[in-house]
Amino acid sequence: MTELKPCPWCGTVGHDLFDLWDRFDAGHIAHVHCTHCGADGPSVYSETSANDAIKQARQAWNRRKSND
């Protein structure tokens, strides 16, 4: 699975960033969550599977402009 960039608000990396997902209507919705500051990435919907939603949510989290 795609490695996550650090949180853009607090810089947290590793196990404090995790995927949240749930069933939603006829599919799954997912986003990346930072447990340190509470930031959430964009929510992504997938009709195929939770894994697909998580993969897309990780890509959306990493697509943001870098803070470096």
Please state, in angstroms and rounded to a whole number, the distance separating the CA atoms of residues 11 and 37.
9
Three-point CA angle 42, 16, 5, nearest 5°: 55
User: Do residues 57 and 24 make contact, with C-beta atoms less than 8 angstroms apart?
Assistant: no
**pLDDT tens-digit readout, 44-65:** 999 999 999 999 999 999 997 6
Confidence of residue 38 (pLDDT cuts 50, 70, 90): very high
Q: Are 24 and 8 in contact (CB under 8 A)?
A: no
Tell whether the model's pLDDT for residue 66 goes beyond 70.
no
pTM strictly above 0.75 = yes
Distances in Å between the Cα of 59 and the Cα atoms of 25, 31, 55 are 23, 10, 6
Pull the structure tokens for residue 62. Answer: 């990493």
Q: What is the pLDDT of residue 67?
A: 54
